[in-house]
Structure 1
Amino acid sequence: MQPFIDADGDEVRADNYSTFGIPMRAVVAPVGTCDNLAVCWGVSSSELAFQAIRLEPFLCAVAEAVGHMAVESVVSGVPLAKLKYEPVRARLQAAGLLIQRYQTVTP
């Protein structure tokens, strides 16, 4: 895997993290294209990331998170593509889903 710089300016390499997250934008269509569509299999990712995403336990967790996003969309009346992160995060945490950025591992 090629190292890259994340949103916080930290270098991410294959040997310095143990978990990773999927941003909400990876499971919804861009705003204005199809605001009520979310996916759990066709996640937007690199080829390398998809190799991890395609594993069944991980895919089930993504599907559960997308389901909670759909519920939040219906309850709040906000299209999926326009949902804010905080109410979705609160719903996912209440359900006990793991929500965290990757954890740096020091050898």
Structure 2
Amino acid sequence: RREAAYAIEGVAALAGAQRVPEIAAGMLGAAEALRSAIGSPLLAPERAERAVLMDQLTRAAGAEAVSQWMMAGRRKPFEAVVTRALGWLEGDAGRTPGGPEIGFNSGKRRENA
């Protein structure tokens, strides 16, 4: 399962790079929950990478939104997180920033503001 946490964190990093903070924060929350469940804390370099991504997400969407999306990710069952990640990777991950995105909470399409 540690490899699964790495994979979920990778999706979070990609979503952050593509400026989709809702997906990125949700995946970070899910990865945190998984790491907590398996007793696998982040190593120092991983914590540094996460801090950079968190800063980026907070600047893009605000601390409250990021916190809510992370909480939603923490509450998702592992299988639902994997399904969500694969769905995003197969669909919206290939779209350009500013295009339509699918929200982590709802799974419904919405246009970016």
TM-score bracket for this pair, using the shorter chain length: 0.3 to 0.5
Structure number having the greater helix percentage: 2
- Normalised TM-score (structure 1): 0.33
Greater gyration radius: 1
